[in-house]
Amino acid sequence: MLTNEWAMACARGHGTFDYRMRRLLFAVLALLAAAPASAHAGEVTLWACHGPDGAPLPFAYSASGSHGGVSRVGGGCEAPGGTLRLGFTNAVGGDAVTLRFATPATLSRVWLDRRVSGPEYHARTTSAELESLLSPGVLDGVFSGAADGTAVELELRCAAAPCDASADVRRAAVTVRDDEAPVVALGGLPSYGHGTFSVRVDATDAGIGLASAHAWLDGVPAGSVTLGHAHCAELSPGDATIDLPLADDCPPAAQIALPVDSTRVADGQHELAVAVLDAAGNTAGARAPLRIVNHPVVVVPTPTPTPTLPPAVAPPVKAVASLHAAKRYKVSRTGALKVAASCPSAAARSCRATVKLSAKLPGGKRATASRRATIRAGRRATLTLKLNAAARRALRSRGALSATLTLAGAKPVGVKLTR
C-alpha cells in the first residue's frame, strides 16, 4: 500500500512552485551571509509514465525478450489512464521479457502502480529483489518500499507455453538523494552598475540538474532566470516534497547571462550576491563588491561673497588637526593600518589629534580602534591603528570590510579596509 507520506504528497496539488522557491531564496540569503557556497540537500522523487496527479509523463525505458516486450494500452503514458504492458506473444518455454529504467542517483525508495497477472513475475533493482509473484494470481495496486541500486527492472518468465503472464505499469516513481551543490563561478562584472545589466555566471551540477539563478544587491532582489525546460518543473507545488519527471531536462551545465536591475538600490557601493539552485534544492552562491551609478551628482557652484576684514585683524587660527583620509586602506597581517593627519602651520604650537576607527562585523558586532598624537604646527604625522582579533578574522574571511574613520572635531569618513 501507499505510505501516508506519499499518499498526502499525491493528494496535495495546491499552491505554486514559486511559493516554495521563495522559501528557498530566503534560505539562500542567509546562506550567502555566512559563506560563499553551501547546500540544502533533499530527497527528490522522480515520476514516470504518469505524475502524482495522474498527468501523462514521458518514460524512458529499455525492453528485451525474443517473444514479447512492451506495448501501449489505452494510449500508454501519453494518455491519462493509459498503461505500458509487459507481456508475451507466441512465447515458448524458458522465454523472459523485461522492462528496465535507470535512475540518475542511488535509490532510496521505489513506488510502482501496477497490475500483474502471474505467474513468474519479478521486480528488482540492481542490488535487491523488490517483489515477486511465483504462482498464478494477480497483484493490483501500489507497491512501495525502500530500495538501493541505480536501476529498476520488471521481468516476466515463461516456464512452459502457453504463457498468459502480463504486467501493466500505470506509473512508477523512485526516490533518490542529491546532496551535491552546484559549482558556481561569477564573471563579466562591469566596472560599475548602471540600469539593467548582465553578469556571467558559469554553473555545473553533478546531480539532478540546474533549476534557476538569482541576484541580489545588498539583500534586495535584483534579477532571476529559470534554467530548466518543460520537464524541469515541480509536479506537486505547494507541498514539502520535490517531485520531478524521471525524464527531467534540467541542464547539467549552463553559462548564464543573469540580468541585474541596479535601479532597485541607491547609488553607491553595494554587494552583489548571486545564487544558483539545482532541481533538488541545493544552492551555491558567490559575492562581489559593485558600485552603482544611476544618478551622477551635478555640482552647481554657488557664488560666495568675500568677507571684508579690518585691515589689522586676521581671523584666529584654531589648533585643529586635519585628517587625510584615503578611500581604501590595506591592513597588514598583524591588523595594522596607517592614517595620516596634519596640523596647520598657522597654529600656535601644536595640535592634539585623536583618530578613531569603527567597523561593522558579521553577527551585528563592531570593532573599534583609536590612536592619539600631538602634531607640531605645519607638520604631518602618521598614526598607526590596530584591529582586534575579531576584526582580523572577519577581514580574512570576507576579504574587505567597510569602516568609518573619525578625527575629533571633524566629519566621519567612510573607508574600505582590505588585506
For the chain of 419 residues, list the mean pLDDT of each consecutive stretch of 10: 33 37 47 37 88 93 86 94 89 85 92 92 95 93 95 90 87 93 92 94 93 95 91 86 90 94 95 94 93 82 75 63 88 90 86 89 85 89 90 88 85 89
At residue 315, the pLDDT reads 58
The predicted structure's pLDDT at residue 23: 46
The rounded distance, in Å, linking the Cα atoms of 153 and 103 is 11
* Residue 68 pLDDT: 77
Residue 163: the pLDDT is 81
Query: Using an 8 Å Cβ cutoff, are 125 and 153 in contact?
Result: yes
CATH class of 322-418: mainly beta
Per-residue model confidence (pLDDT) at position 18: 44
**How many other C-beta atoms can be found within 10 angstroms of the C-beta atom of residue 251?**
18
pLDDT at 317: 58
Cβ burial 10-41 (10 Å sphere, 16+ → b, else e): bebeeeeeeebbeebbeebeebbeeebbbbeb
Q: Tell me, what's the pLDDT at 29?
A: 46
Cβ contacts of 53 within 8 Å, gap of 6 or more: 10, 13, 235, 236
Q: What is the pTM of this model?
A: 0.58
Q: One fold for both 62-178 and 322-418?
A: no
62-178: CATH architecture = Sandwich (2.60)
Residue 35 to residue 44: CA distance in whole angstroms: 25
Q: Where are the domains of the chain?
A: 4-41+179-292, 62-178, 322-418
Assign a CATH topology to domain 4-41+179-292.
Immunoglobulin-like (2.60.40)
